[in-house]
Amino acid sequence: MEFSKVYFLGIGGIGMSALARYFLHEGKRVAGYDRTPSRLTAELEAEGAEVHYDDDVQAIPAAFLDPRDTMVVYTPAVPQDHSEYRYFCENGFTVEKRSQMLGHLAEGKYVMAVAGTHGKTTTSTLVAWLNRALTGGGSAFLGGISKNFGGNLVLGDGPRLAVEADEFDRSFLRLFPDVAVVTSADADHLDIYGTHEAVKEAFSQFVRQIRPGGFLVIKQGVDIVLDNPAIRVYRYAYDTPCDFYARNVRLQEGGHYLFDLVTPGGAVEVCTLGIPGWVNIENAVAAVAAVWCAAQAEGAAFDAERLRTALASFSGVKRRFEFYVNTPRQVYMDDYAHHPRELAATLTSVRKMFPGRRITALFQPHLYTRTRDFYAGFAEALSHADEAVVLPIYPAREEPIPGVTSEIIAERVTVPCRIVGREQLADEVAAMDTDVVVSFGAGNIDACCEAIAEKLRPKS
């Protein structure tokens, strides 16, 4: 790359911050804008990035104002009327989306891309962890903070590159993977796609872009057109027999499981995963399938004992099934779920993990458009709990839509439900008769987690 400086619009985003870290590691000078300070932006500043929080061309560091040596990367969440974005576009800078840059960095690598409307962050992080455990190398750009790696960027030897392939704004169509995983293709981002059929067609196009001789690992039952004749297709499931699945699944104390992992090459018996929940067993099956395919392509042996050790030592991802309190008298966990299918899967998983216990769900809806499109589904999912608390909608990049409020969810929930402001949430939860508490959302509900945990720990 001929540019010595890289400027990021939306530098605090999870995918953007991984790219920023990569270029810092490569010795480039890095700066950027984000709407609000966060833990990620603080870490980037500590690592040498220059970050500011006002949309103001005057705030761009002077060293980044020369289009001959500065490249600009932006997230599609940045609006087209953003003054800094307009400045760069109008003054001869090379300006690329995050997905375009990721596509460049993937060139020459053995790309293992995980796509899906849910499940992709944990699965891609597991792929990166298994690559490291089984080969000693591998790199990754992740959509969450891996607890094992301590970040969202993994740099390692060898050609394998694990990436989270994001369907938002059709970003994943910039990738041409060697191994692709598709975990789901549910209706989502309808503000971008318009219809569920358009979502599914984008996933079909993603599959068409798998390189000849490559592999597709797709969840059993995902309904998309598969018309790439140059690849091998494998199905995976939680416990339904197919190419890859878990059998003899046994619940252990604290929500962990023992299971046998069946592959086309035979079963790996008596596995356990370092994080709880049946949905994570399903994610692990998908990740193992991807790594198995890579081993097949390399003609490499698949070491069952090292695989068992790697699965057991996987620590998970921040905000994915993350426990703050876990005792026989009180449980509190937080999850990034922000789609009805994700909420339902997590709540049913929690119900299996803690049979007979009372579940309280705390949910912050993310985006007015998603709430408008899926309010009935959110209400149905929250009704899997014993009681629910709904926060006001987190708007992110959107302006309010008349008539779209948290009330249209809450009034349809079939268990006791109330609406509570984020600032009052910890105190409200403390005053409730709680047993198992789960918070959900892709907005800023995570800023409440430690305060909620502090209120609940005395109850444990």
Task: Decide: 150 and 215 in contact? Cβ < 8 Å.
Answer: no
CATH classification (class only), 322-459: alpha beta
pLDDT (0 to 100) of residue 1: 53
Give, as one character, the DSSP assignment of residue 211.
Answer: P
Residue type, 207: V
Q: Encode pLDDT of 202-244 as tens digits.
A: 999 999 999 999 999 999 999 999 999 999 999 999 999 999 9
Contact between 170 and 98 (Cβ < 8 Å): no
Q: What is the pLDDT of residues 113-143, one digit of tens each?
A: 999 988 889 999 999 999 999 999 999 999 8
- Residue-wise pLDDT tens digits, 46-102: 999 999 999 999 999 999 999 999 999 998 888 888 999 999 999 999 999 988 898
Average pLDDT over residues 441-448: 88
**Please, which residues have CB within 8 angstroms of residue 49's CB and are 6 or more apart in sequence?**
11, 20, 24, 30, 31, 32
365-377 mean pLDDT: 93
Q: Which residues pair with 359 in a beta bridge?
A: 436
With vertex at residue 116, the alpha carbon angle to CA 115 and CA 121, rounded to the nearest 5 degrees, is 70
What average pLDDT does the chain have? 92
Would you list the domain boundaries of the chain? Answer: 5-97, 108-312, 322-459
Domains 5-97 and 322-459 share a fold: no
Does 5-97 carry CATH code 3.40.50.720?
yes
Q: Any idea what the Cα angle at residue 341 is, between residues 448 and 325, rounded to 5°?
A: 35
Between CA 364 and CA 367 the distance in angstroms is: 10
pLDDT, tens only, 345-361? 889 989 988 888 999 99
- The pLDDT of residue 115 is 93
Higher pLDDT, 387 or 191: 387
Structural element, H or E, at residue 382: helix 368-382
Nearest CA to 176 out of 102, 98, 72, 95 is that of 102
What is the topology classification, in CATH, of domain 108-312?
UDP-N-acetylmuramoyl-L-alanine:D-glutamate ligase (3.40.1190)
Instruction: State CA 52 to chain mean position distance.
Output: 26
For the segment 378-396, the average pLDDT, to the nearest whole number, is 95
Arithmetic mean of pLDDT, 389-399: 90
Q: What distance, in Å, lies between the first and last C-alpha atoms of the chain?
A: 54
Strand order of the sheet with strand 151-154? 151-154, 139-146, 160-165, 110-115, 179-182, 215-219, 232-236
418 and 342 Cβ atoms separated by less than 8 Å: no
Q: Supply the DSSP symbol for 366.
A: B
